Amino acid sequence: MKSDNVKLGMQQAPHRSLFNALGLTEEELSKPLVGIVCSYNEIVPGHMNLDKIAQAVKLGVAAAGGTPIMFPAIAVCDGIAMGHIGMKYSLVTRDLIADSTECMATAHQFDALVMIPNCDKNVPGLLMAAARVNVPTVFVSGGPMLAGHVKGHKTSLSSMFEAVGSYAAGTMTEEDVKDFECNACPTCGSCSGMYTANSMNCLTEALGMGLPGNGTIPAVYSERLKLAKRAGMAVMEMYRKNIRPRDIITKEAIMNALTVDMALGCSTNSMLHIPAIAHEIGFDFDIELANEVSARTPNLCHLAPAGPTYMEDLNEAGGVYAVINQLCEKGLINENCMTVTGKTIGEAVKGHVNKNPQVIRTMDNPYSTTGGLAVLKGNLAPDGSVVKRSAVVSEMMQHEGPARVFECEEDAIEAIKGGKIVAGDVVVIRYEGPKGGPGMREMLNPTSAIAGMGLGSTVALITDGRFSGASRGASIGHVSPEAAVGGPIALVQEGDIIQIDIDKCTLNLKVSDEELAKRKAEWKPREPKVTTGYLARYARMVTSGNRGAVLE
């Protein structure tokens, strides 16, 4: 056992004295030590139930012959952090989570780990740590929130943000907004649409790191506690078989996850997190792979914000494994990849059928023949940009219009809500990238304002920042290189014509090469927005969005 390094021999007598201080018995110390990485806190709705999940996991570990020992991981609620300086601290926590978990797991020589994440950066951060530490590991999330109900219709957090825009447009009363406020988020859990948290939890199943149901069983269902117990048991079986994360998270598994991402219509943020996870196993993931996979993968699900269905509906329809099973039948999944079930992914999904073709479309009746995400390139984004194609209305798949340029998110929101943005415009928000932000803020407030003002089918938004999974419309993020390093987005001027073609995967500024070269020669770097603390260190070390904003 790895933990023998801190348990056995005379040299370890001081270590054992400290285990005694913890109240551990000799019987417990004779068993494998299993770290339970619990992201419980009292500020994130998706994490307020994780103490119960952790207790269930500990029961499962103990029942299967291990000694569970819990330690924490942090988590930020993107919804609460949205639209102010707090959002600069969201993406950056992914690396804090990975680093701190690596430190804790290695310093204390755990034999195995169970990761209990739920929200946006928590899941990829712990996946990155799992690949680094490389001891047997299983993921079990806290589960998604149930959908809200407003005026007889299901709803979710994205509708809440859009209600604020509708109020600004005068199409919704303060009482209407209050109705959404009190009913959009009715339970604990990760917000109920296919936003980033649920996207990443679903992709743990596709990667092979989570048991079936991990991404979809609602947080408030008792089945979630049973899943947690099974996760504790499963990690002990993995320990006995010596199945480790790097046996599971392979290049082939990552490509499987990208395929499932396309079928589900996941958040654009997965195009930050998949490259970062790939980086941990030495796989140099080019985001243009997304277009190759998209070209052969149909989009089968339109969960909120792309459509009227929610995570609870996906769960009842058969969950992620039902989607993967359909993809397997068409030869789109590498079925030989190992999973935490102890079976290959091909073996594990057998028998998981699609119970509701209205929620999970069949392969011969997809929402589109191509996947949910697209990477756009052109002279405005030479290194790429990302759009959630499945959440774009048909009339915005091609768009050409004048640039309305803003140097930060707040200025753009003021203009949108002030009625200064009109049909046909292309809103450009820059200096919000990984370095320029710093921290690459999500732009849910401006995209929601555009939708709420009734401009969702006529106005595009382009940024070197990123979007919440709750954003919809022609919202193009991760524009690389970013403005802070002199990327072409820094050279856009008010009124320049921007041409978007999502079908052809292009994003171009209709300005001559000579004019762009002249603007580039005149461009000067800006003073950093933050010069002290963690964000300043992050800004110095972070790479661009097209590389997953990893630290170097």
| Residue 531 to residue 544: CA distance in whole angstroms | 19
458 touches 464 (CB < 8 A): no
349 touches 341 (CB < 8 A): no
In residues, how long is the chain?
A: 552
Q: Which element (helix H / strand E) includes 399?
A: strand 398-406
In DSSP notation, 31-43 reads SPEEEEEE---SS
Closest CA to 93 of 115, 120, 121, 119: 121
Q: Is 309 strand, coil or helix? A: strand
Integer distance in angstroms from the first to the last C-alpha of the chain? 33
Give the residue numbers annotated as catalytic, written as ranges.
468
| Residue 204 to residue 249: CA distance in whole angstroms | 10
Cross-strand partners of 137: 113
Pairing of strands 398-406, 497-501: antiparallel
| Residue 80 to residue 64: CA distance in whole angstroms | 39
Cβ-based neighbour number of residue 418 at 10 Å? 9
Backbone angles phi, psi at 264, to 5 degrees: -80, -25
Task: Provide the strand spans (E) within 39-116.
Answer: 67-72, 112-116
Closest CA to 530 of 42, 56, 89, 146: 89
Pairing of strands 373-378, 381-388: antiparallel
Instruction: List the structure tokens of 545.
Output: 């969005």
Instruction: List the structure tokens of 527.
Output: 């003073």
Radius of gyration of the chain (CA): 23
54 touches 38 (CB < 8 A): yes
Q: Is 303 strand, coil or helix? A: strand
| Residue 308 to residue 314: CA distance in whole angstroms | 11
In DSSP notation, 510-549 reads -S-HHHHHHHHHH--PPPPS--SHHHHHHHHHB--GGGTS
| Residue 188 to residue 145: CA distance in whole angstroms | 6
